[in-house]
Chain A
Amino acid sequence: MNSRPSYSLARVGTMTQRYLYLLLGSWPRLLEMVYWPTVQMVTWGFITKFFLTNSSWLVQASGMLLAAVLLWDVLFRGQMGLTLMFFEEMYARNLGNLFISPLRPVELAASLIVMSIVRTVISFTGAALLAILFYRYNIFIMGLPLLLFFILLIVWGWSLGLLIVSLVLRYGLGAEGLAWVIIFAVGPISGVYYPISTLPGWLQTIAWFLPSSHVFEGMRALLLTGEMQMSFLVTAAALNVVYLALGLGVFLFTFEVARRRGLLLNLGE
């Protein structure tokens, strides 16, 4: 028997193609990717306009709320982009077929990550361009820091996404709602729209364990002072390494649990 390469980028590409078939074959799915970020951005745009005449803090950096809403969406879309594609396999009862092929779980995870990037870039770009059109706010002038914020948030989204996918793999589609619950629990303690110092002390301690808290504090520091505080980025990156490794580990472990319990075939439970 020939020994074949253990991992294959071609299989990751094939799975990405599978998800693109799905995405490009459905205009509601394409529309949905841009619709919600746009609605959020428009809402917060008007709120910003109002506060600009009523808040001296916000006047210092008028784009702060819009930047926050656009970057929050990177985390949100990064996580949802990964989990929704996995849910499609669950809805289709296709996991069994996938895993009797040479596809490895880590290759599936890689293709989900690729799709998360595709979906997030489309969503973010659409909403950011509309922010220029509606409010003359150009987030792209942040330059390199924007790219770093984007990467740090999307990676954190993948970690959360892998954790949610693992829960759904283990407990079935009944746990699907967790995809929404978890991310919206992370939001308030990430200091998206307000500084972490606003939170009670004990919650601040938890907040500093989240990469997103460091990113949004870094973003505010950049917009208020014009300086990039590297410590925020470095801490967020270090936390991301830990959480991504943890997310992938939990996913691979849950996959073996699913094989033991017959969950890939809906057997046994």
Chain B
Amino acid sequence: MNQPAIQIRGLTKHFNGIRAVEDLDFSVTEGTTTALLGGNGAGKTTTLSILVGLLLPTRGEITLLGEDMLRHRHRVLPYINYSSPYLDLPHRLTVRQNLNVFAGLYGLPDRRGTLERLAGELSLTAFMDRPYRELSAGQKTRVSLAKSLLNEPRVLLLDEPTASMDPDMADFMRGYLMAYQKRTGATLLLASHNMTEVERICQDVIILREGRKVAHGTPAGLIAQYGRRTLEDVFIHIARTKEGPEGALEGDRVPTLHPEDSR
């Protein structure tokens, strides 16, 4: 069985007394795609931000690719990447200039070749020389994804990866991410509100509420567990129920269904 690429133990983050994440434990198996689900303010973006080192936890342990992320962040950073609508790129620079800068920061040996390849694959070629500020929201999301793929990361963290994309482009992007994951064996962890997307590309789902894990399993496993027809129904059920499944909201007895459990 593959090793976990991401391992979190007791992760807690408080902001001025507000609990953004509370005693979170989970691991993501190498080479799989996992979704972090939850309503607004559930702690998804906070968790992803802690994982990439932009945010320090109040307490807890994080291991990425076998390294202690809190102590040896710079050993891991060359091998991971992140795309988020909360991060932006310099608006006055062209798309090519922006990507070229990040290619340089990752020390890519063939910057021009990598940029041309990614521009072709993600349909960016037509606006590579346009200032970033002139792009539509969907185009900006694609550029952000291109930025996150520059170093061919072994762990790719995505916050709303298809936000602002039209259905056709979103569908293309899901296919692209699946192909990328298959080709490179990368580990993907994504936060999304798009349940169709999650059902299509994720092998594992973690549902958060008020900073705590309230469910963990395969999409099919969770649907069966909650007796619902779709993952969206499961999400709505959890969001509207005061307590988690089997009273698990307080962190005890969280049902965890792993891929092998659902087979």
Contact = CB atoms under 8 A, between A and B. Distances in A.
Interface of A: 1, 3-4, 6, 8, 10-11, 13-15, 17-18, 21-22, 25-26, 88-89, 92-94, 96-104, 256, 259-262, 264-269
Given A102-B77, A256-B56, A267 B46 contact: yes
A264 B55 contact: yes
Contact of B86 (A15, A18, A266): A266
Interface residues of B, number: 41
B87 A1 contact: no
Given A22-B90, A22-B93, A103 B105 contact: yes
Contacts of A25: 92-93
Contacts of B100: 17
A99 to B, nearest CB: 6
Contacts, number: 118
Interface in B80-129: 80-82, 84, 86-93, 97, 100-102, 104-107
A256 to B, nearest CB: 7
B107 A10 contact: yes
A212 to B, nearest CB: 33
A265 B87 contact: yes
A260 B56 contact: yes
Interface in B31-87: 45-46, 49, 52-56, 65-67, 74-82, 84, 86-87
25 contacts: A1-B66, A1-B67, A3-B75, A4-B74, A4-B75, A6-B74, A11-B107, A15-B101, A18-B101, A21-B93, A22-B92, A89-B90, A94-B90, A96-B54, A96-B86, A99-B54, A100-B82, A102-B105, A256-B56, A262-B46, A265-B45, A265-B49, A267-B49, A269-B15, A269-B16
B213 interface: no
Contacts of B20: 268
